[in-house]
Amino acid sequence: MTQNAAVRVRGLRKRYGGVAAVDGVDLDIARGEVFGILGPNGAGKSTTVEILQGYRTRDGGEVAVLGEDPAAGGREWQAKVGIVWQDGGAAQELTVAETVRHFARYYPRPRDAEEVIALVGLEEKAGSRTKALSGGQRRRLDVALGVIGGPELLLLDEPTTGFDPVARRQFWELIRSLAEEGTTIILTTHYLEEAEALTDRLAVISAGRVVAEGAADTLAGRARARATVRWTEPDGTRRTEETDTPTRTVAELAARFGGGEVPELRVTRPTLEDVYLRLIGERDGQGVAS
Provide the residue range defining the domain that includes 244. Answer: 226-268
**pLDDT tens-place string over residues 221-239:** 887 888 899 999 999 999 9
Predicted confidence at residue 136, as pLDDT, reads: 82
CA 12 to chain CA centroid, Å, is 19
Residue 1: pLDDT above 60? Answer: no
- What rounded mean pLDDT belongs to the chain? 89
Question: Would residue 132 count as lying in a domain?
Answer: no
How far apart are alpha carbons 232 and 32 in whole angstroms? Answer: 47
**pLDDT tens-place string over residues 259-290:** 888 999 999 888 899 899 989 886 554 433 33
Question: Would residue 252 count as lying in a domain?
Answer: yes
Question: Would residue 239 count as lying in a domain?
Answer: yes
- In contact, 265 and 240? CB cutoff 8 Å: no
Predicted confidence at residue 89, as pLDDT, reads: 63
The arithmetic mean of pLDDT across residues 248-266, rounded, is: 91
Question: Would residue 23 count as lying in a domain?
Answer: no
| Number of folded domains that form the chain | 1
Question: Would residue 140 count as lying in a domain?
Answer: no
**pLDDT tens-place string over residues 155-179:** 998 888 777 888 888 889 888 988 9
Question: Would residue 164 count as lying in a domain?
Answer: no
Question: Would residue 257 count as lying in a domain?
Answer: yes
187: exposed, middle or buried (Cβ count in 10 Å: 0-12, 13-18, 19+): buried
- Where is pLDDT greater, at 208 or 87? 208
Q: C-alpha distances in angstroms, 268 versus 199, 213, 247, 272, 273?
A: 22, 22, 12, 12, 13
**pLDDT tens-place string over residues 56-111:** 999 999 999 999 999 998 888 998 999 987 666 667 889 999 999 999 999 988 99
Question: Would residue 240 count as lying in a domain?
Answer: yes
